[in-house]
């Protein structure tokens, strides 16, 4: 996993003070990293338009123009005059080279957006919106310097943002690049070193970006084993029975040795899935909440009271009963609407989904602070998983998963790993990665996947 930072100004400052690097040097490295990336990948292209604002993001762009001058046909556009001493100096340097400063936007093979970086501190004005709209309309390779202009420091997009194919971000990964709202704008994200290796630039953080290598699949290393070695998951099936059945099929394909569905109704289940009406004696994990519908509160309370590891989803996030169990190490997997209900029930805040989506990290952190034992998995375009005020982001998901039943598959996967004795946080992380990485492997198109296709892909991981 890689560290994420809510702000990097203090890291830049630390570079000046601890490593005696100067602003000029950091900027030279920022621009050199972009120049290197462009030269290594696009030398076959000719023209490059660099669009600069008045701050140091713009100054990065002016520096880049100097580095690429004569190697490419560089057109430098200054949306506003340089404001800081360093950007004035960078401009003086390019002027001395005789580099062309254009006074209108026009298409180019490559566009580099250096309008605003971490200094975006107010809503975009009409001029900036027009510039970004024009740039977005060009059929060019689009590169954002540090952060696509229009995304603010907490990852919100108020009106519009530059639609980057690639974001070359300076020094370290910023949390703001990983919100759901930013996902349509950031493209591929690359980190540029600023004069010291990244591990030296970075300090401690409580937020992490998950990588595929963080997924630990339940491979069987023991030879002397039997089905009981791999646990017994109980899935509580409610009145919307499909949800529990989807979860069960996903769970069985993800390694639980035994699986029993608990339901009072007669279900038409595959032969390898057992059905009972009480918790199994050797049950090692419970998955509940999916499609629960109407239920007997006392029965659910009894189940919640057991010490068996649990994943809880869906309908239970609308019942205050859940609040009685938030001091336990259980996995909760709400989608944004369910999380709003949970935040309200546990008296953290009363907000709507728009407010939540605008501030996902903030509310997950607040919840985790109040309930440090809970493993929370907040669904979304970028899933956030938290425990004990540490946050982990999974960005591998895509709209191929935007279908009823995708979440039920995820509940089954988490339940399966819990049954196989994964720690709750590890179960949530590995199951979430398996869920999203498997969805990426579905190759037909990005609209037709159904839960059984997803389960098939998971079985092939």
Ligand X SMILES: NC(=O)C1=CN([C@@H]2O[C@H](COP(=O)(O)OP(=O)(O)OC[C@H]3O[C@@H](n4cnc5c(N)ncnc54)[C@H](OP(=O)(O)O)[C@@H]3O)[C@@H](O)[C@H]2O)[C@@H](O)CC1
- Binding residues for ligand ADP, rule: CB under 6 A, are 314, 335, 379-381, 383, 397-399, 401-402, 404-408, 410
119 labelled ligand-binding: yes
> Which one, 84 or 388, has the nearer CB to ligand X?
84
- 159 annotated ligand binder: no
Please answer whether residues 292 and 242 qualify as being in contact, where contact means their C-beta atoms are separated by less than 8 angstroms: no
User: Does 426 count as an annotated binding residue?
Assistant: no
Measured from the CB of residue 206, what is the shortest distance to K ion in angstroms? Answer: 26
The answer for residues whose C-beta is within 8 angstroms of residue 260's C-beta and 6 or more apart is 232, 233, 234, 235, 273, 274, 275, 276, 280, 283
Q: How far apart are CA 408 and CA 414, in angstroms?
A: 10
* Binding of K ion by 60 (CB under 5 A): no
Give the three-class secondary structure for 447: coil
Residues 410 and 249: their CA atoms lie apart, in Å, by 11
Instruction: List the Cα angle 117/121/126 in 5-degree steps.
Output: 90
Residue 167 CB, nearest approach to K ion (Å)? 8
- Please report whether residue 149 would count as binding K ion according to CB under 5 A: yes
Query: How far apart (Å, rounded) are the C-alpha atoms in residues 305 and 299?
Result: 10
- Binding partner of 125, given K ion, ligand X, ligand ADP, none, CB within 5-8 angstroms per partner class: ligand X
Q: How far, in Å, CA of 237 to CA of 244, rounded?
A: 5
Q: Which one, 86 or 383, has the nearer CB to ligand X?
A: 86
For residue 121, state whether it binds ligand X (rule: CB under 6 A).
yes
Q: Is 56 annotated as a binding residue?
A: yes
What phi and psi, each to the nearest 5 degrees, are found at residue 214? -80, -10
Residue 106-145 contact track with K ion, rule CB under 5 A, x = bound: -------x------------------------------xx
Q: What number of chain residues touch K ion (CB under 5 A)? A: 4
Tokens of 303: 């189940």
- The answer to whether residues 427 and 231 touch, using CB atoms and an 8 Å cutoff, is no
* Among K ion, ligand X, ligand ADP, none, residue 122 binds (CB under 5-8 Å by kind): ligand X
Of residues 116, 98, 102, the one with CA closest to residue 61: 116
- Beta carbon nearer to K ion, 168 or 340: 168
**Which CB atom, from 63 or from 406, has the smaller least distance to ligand ADP?**
406
**Partner from K ion, ligand ADP, ligand X, none binding residue 383, C-beta < 5-8 Å depending on class:** ligand ADP
**Residue 117, annotated ligand binder?**
yes
Integer Cα distance of 159 and 181 in angstroms: 11
Q: Which of K ion, ligand X, ligand ADP, none lies near 402, with the C-beta cut-off 5 to 8 A by kind?
A: ligand ADP
Alpha carbons 11 and 172: distance in angstroms, whole number = 9
Work out the angle between the directed axes of helices 85-97 and 23-42 (0-180°, nearest 10): 50
Helix, strand, coil percentages (3-state) for the chain, rounded to 5, are 40, 20, 40
Q: Smaller CB distance to ligand X: residue 36 or 461?
A: 36
Name 286's bridge partners. 234, 310
**Are the beta carbons of 363 and 356 closer than 8 angstroms?**
yes
Tokens of 118: 């971490």
Regarding 169 and contact with K ion (CB under 5 A), the answer is no
DSSP code for 193: P
Q: Closest distance between ligand ADP and the C-beta of residue 90, in Å?
A: 39
x/- mask, ligand X, residues 68-107, rule CB under 6 A, reads: ---------------xx-----------------------
Nearer Cβ to K ion (128/333): 128
6 annotated to bind ligand? no
Residue 161 as a binder of ligand X (CB under 6 A): the answer is no
DSSP string, 56-90: HHHHHHHHHHHHHBTTBEEEEEESS---SHHHHHH
Query: Which is closer to ligand X, CB of 80 or CB of 229?
Result: 80
* Least distance between ligand X and beta carbon 43 (Å): 24
162-201 binders of ligand X (CB under 6 A): 170, 194
Residue 88 vs 426, nearer CB to ligand ADP: 426
Write the CA distances from 313 to 6, 288, 332, 408, integer angstroms: 29, 6, 6, 8
User: Residue with structure tokens 């069987």?
Assistant: 220
Q: Which does 149 bind (CB under 5 to 8 A by kind): ligand ADP, K ion, ligand X, none?
A: K ion
120 is in an annotated binding site: yes
SS3 166: strand
Residues contributing to the site for K ion (CB under 5 A): 113, 144-145, 149
Residues contributing to the site for ligand X (CB under 6 A): 12, 23, 26-27, 30, 53-58, 60, 83-84, 116-125, 128, 145-146, 170, 194
Annotated binding site for (6S)-NADPHX: 56-60, 117-123, 146, 243, 291, 335, 408
């Amino acid at each position: 996993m890689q560290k994420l930072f809510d702000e990097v100004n203090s890291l830049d400052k630390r570079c000046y003070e601890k490593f005696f690097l100067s602003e000029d040097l950091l900027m030279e490295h920022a621009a050199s990293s972009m120049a290197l990336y462009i030269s290594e990948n696009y030398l076959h292209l000719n023209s490059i338009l660099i669009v600069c604002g008045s701050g140091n993001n713009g100054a990065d762009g002016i520096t880049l123009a100097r580095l690429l001058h004569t190697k490419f046909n560089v057109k430098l556009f200054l949306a506003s005059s340089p404001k800081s001493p360093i950007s004035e100096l960078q401009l003086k340097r390019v002027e001395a080279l005789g580099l062309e400063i254009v006074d209108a936007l026009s298409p180019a093979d490559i566009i580099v957006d250096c309008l605003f970086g971490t200094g975006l501190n107010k809503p975009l004005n009409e001029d900036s919106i027009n510039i970004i709209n024009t740039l977005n309309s060009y059929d060019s390779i689009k590169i954002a310097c540090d952060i696509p202009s229009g995304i603010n420091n907490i990852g919100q997009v108020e009106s519009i943002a530059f639609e980057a194919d690639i974001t070359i971000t300076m020094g370290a990964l910023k949390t703001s690049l990983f919100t759901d709202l930013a996902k349509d704008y950031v493209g591929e994200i690359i980190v540029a070193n600023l004069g010291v290796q990244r591990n030296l630039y970075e300090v401690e953080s409580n937020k992490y970006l998950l990588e595929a290598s963080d997924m630990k699949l339940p491979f069987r290393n023991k030879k002397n084993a039997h089905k009981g070695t791999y646990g017994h998951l109980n899935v509580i099936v409610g009145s919307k029975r499909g949800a529990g059945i989807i979860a069960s099929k996903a769970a069985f394909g993800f390694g639980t040795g035994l699986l029993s569905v608990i339901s009072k109704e007669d279900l038409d289940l595959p032969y390898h899935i057992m059905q009972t009406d009480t918790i199994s004696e050797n049950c090692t994990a419970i998955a509940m909440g999916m499609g629960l519908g109407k239920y007997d509160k006392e029965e659910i309370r009894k189940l919640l009271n057991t010490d068996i590891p649990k994943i809880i989803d869906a309908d239970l996030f609308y019942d205050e009963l859940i609040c009685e169990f938030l001091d336990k190490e259980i996995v909760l997997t709400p989608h944004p609407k369910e999380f709003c209900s949970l935040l309200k029930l546990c008296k953290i805040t009363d907000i709507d989904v728009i407010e939540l989506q605008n501030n996902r990290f903030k509310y997950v952190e607040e919840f985790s602070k109040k309930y440090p034992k809970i493993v929370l998995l907040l669904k979304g375009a970028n899933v956030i998983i938290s425990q004990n005020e540490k946050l982990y982001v999974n960005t591998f998901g895509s709209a191929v998963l935007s279908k009823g039943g995708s979440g039920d598959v995820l509940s089954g996967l988490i339940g399966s790993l819990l049954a196989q004795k994964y720690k709750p946080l590890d179960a949530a992380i590995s199951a979430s990665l398996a869920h999203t990485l498997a969805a990426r492997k579905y190759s037909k198109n990005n609209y037709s996947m159904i839960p059984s296709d997803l389960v098939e892909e998971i079985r092939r991981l």
